[in-house]
Structure 1
Amino acid sequence: MKIIYLAYRDWALAAYPAVRKHPKVSTCVLCKTQDELLKLKLQDYDLIVSCGWSDELGPEVTGQIEAMGVHCAELDRYSYGTPLQLQIMDGITRSKHRTFSFTYDPNSSRAHTHNRLYSHEVDLDLSGNMEDILEQMTATSKVLFTRFLDDYPNIEWKQWPAETIVRPKRQPQDSILTKKKLLEMDTEQLYNFFRSLEDPYPNGCIEDEKGRLFIKKVEYKKF
C-alpha cells in the first residue's frame, strides 16, 4: 500500500512509525501541512491516514482518495472541534478513541465533514495531566492504525450514534477566566479547566484589571 500520513502535532507524529513500518505499507509519505498534501498526485496513493489533523480535507482531496483518521470522543456532541478539552471540562474521564471515515458533505456544518462512520475503537482514559493524555493518544493511535491496516480493505464500518446535543468548538477567549467566573467554579472544575489547557495548548488564565495569570500545570487532591 502507498500511504499519505497527515500530522503536525508531536503526539501524532510519534504514531507515524507504526504506519510506516506496517507490513502492508510499501510507501508512506509524511505531510505536515495542507500545502504539502495538495502538491502530491493523490491518485498515486491508496489511502490517507490522518492523526490530530485540524484542517478540513475538502472535496479536492476526498474526491480523489480514500481518507481515514482518529477521533478521541465517544459521544457525537464532541464532533465539532476541541473534543479533548470539552470532555475534560465536562468531567468525562472515560471515553473512546476511534477510527473514522472522511467524506465530503457540502451541507455539513461540522468542522471535519465526515459521515460519522467508525470501524475500530479502544478505551481512552482522560484522567491526569495533558502530557499523560497525549502520551496515551500516541499509544492508542498506533493500536488503531495497526488494526485498521491489518483489516484493510475489508473494513466493517458502523454508524456513529447521533445526538441532538452540540458542544461548539472552543475559541481562544474561552480560555480566559474572570475573577467572577473563577468564584463560580469549585476546585475540581478549576482543575479540569486548567489541565485541559496545559502545554502544548494555549494555557488557561485568570484575568483582572491588572493583567492575566497563566496556569501552565496543575495538581489536584480530592477529599
Structure 2
Amino acid sequence: MKVIFLAYRDWALAVYPTVKKHPKVSECILVKTTAMLKQLDLNAYDLIVSCGWSEELGEDVTSKIEAIGVHCAELDRYSYGTPIQLQIIEGITRTKHRIFSFTYDRNSSRAHTHNRLYSHEVDLDYSGNMEDILEQLTVTSKVLFNRYLDDYPDIIWKQWPTEVIVRPKRKPEDSVLSKEDFIQMDTEQLYNFFRCLEDPYPNGCIEDEKGVLYIQKVMYKKK
C-alpha cells in the first residue's frame, strides 16, 4: 500500500513511524500542510491516514482516495472541534478513541459528516495533565492504525450514534476567565478548565483591570 500520512502536531508526528513500518505499507509520505497535499497526485496512492488533522479534507480529496482519521470522543456532540477541551470541562474522564471515515453522506443535512462511520476503537482516559493525555493519544493512535492496516481491506464500518446535542468548537477567547467566572467555579472545575488548556493549547487565564494571569500547568488533590 502507498499511504499519505497527514500530521503536524507533535503527538501525531510521533505516530508516523509506526504507520510507515507496517508490513502492508510499501511507501508512506509525511504531509504537514494542505498546500503539500494539493500538490500530490492522489491517484498514485491507496490511502490517506490523518492524525490530529483539524481541517476538513473536502470532497475533492475524498472522492479520489480513501481517507481515515482518529477522533477522541465517544459522543457525536463533540464532533465539531476541540473535543478534548469540551469533554474535560464537562467532567468526562473516560471516552473512546476511534478510527473514522472521511465519508460524505450526501443525504445528510449536517454540515459535519466526517464522524458518521467508525471501525476500530479503544478506551481513552482523560485524567492527568495535558502531556499525559497527548501521550495517550500517541499510543492509542498507533494501536488503532495498526489494527486498521492489519484488517485492511476487510474493514467493518459501524454507524456513529448521532445526537441532536451539539457542542460548538471552542475559540481562543474562551480560554479567558473573568474574576466573576472564577469565583463561581469550584476547585475541581477550575482544575479541569486549566489543565485542558495547558501547552500546546492557548493557556487558560484570569483577567481583571490590572492584567492577565496565565496558568500554564496545574495540580489538584481531592479532599
Q: Under TM normalisation by the shorter chain, which class is it? A: over 0.9
Alignment of 1:100 onto 2:100: yes
1:42 counterpart residue number = 42
**AA of the residue aligned to 1:37:** L
**AA of the residue aligned to 2:195:** R
How many residues of Structure 1 are paired with residues of Structure 2 in the alignment? Answer: 221
- By how many angstroms is 1:63 displaced? 1.1
1:69 counterpart residue number = 69
Contact preservation (8 Å) 2:103, 2:117:
no
Task: List alignment gaps of at least 5 residues for structure 2.
Answer: none
Identity of aligned residues (%): 75
- By how many angstroms is 1:115 displaced? 5.1
Question: Whole-Å Cα distance in 2 between the matches of residues 168 and 13 of structure 1?
Answer: 27
Question: Whole-Å Cα distance in 2 between the matches of residues 189 and 38 of structure 1?
Answer: 42
1:60 counterpart residue number = 60
Question: Whole-Å Cα distance in 2 between the matches of residues 175 and 201 of structure 1?
Answer: 9
Task: List alignment gaps of at least 5 residues for structure 1.
Answer: none
Question: Whole-Å Cα distance in 2 between the matches of residues 59 and 172 of structure 1?
Answer: 28
SS at match of 1:114: coil
1:114 counterpart residue number = 114
1:136-173 CA distance string (max 9 Å, x none): 10000000000000000100000011111111100111
- By how many angstroms is 1:108 displaced? 3.2
Question: Whole-Å Cα distance in 2 between the matches of residues 170 and 115 of structure 1?
Answer: 18
2:198 counterpart residue number = 198
SS at match of 2:150: helix
Question: Whole-Å Cα distance in 1 between the matches of residues 175 and 105 of structure 2?
Answer: 31
Contact preservation (8 Å) 2:88, 2:192:
yes
1:218 counterpart residue number = 218
TM-score, normalization by structure 1: 0.97
Q: Summarize the Cα distance change of 1:87–1:115 in structure 2 as closer, same or farther, 3 Å threshold.
A: closer
Instruction: Tell me the C-alpha RMSD between the 2 structures.
Output: 1.0
TM-score, normalization by structure 2: 0.97
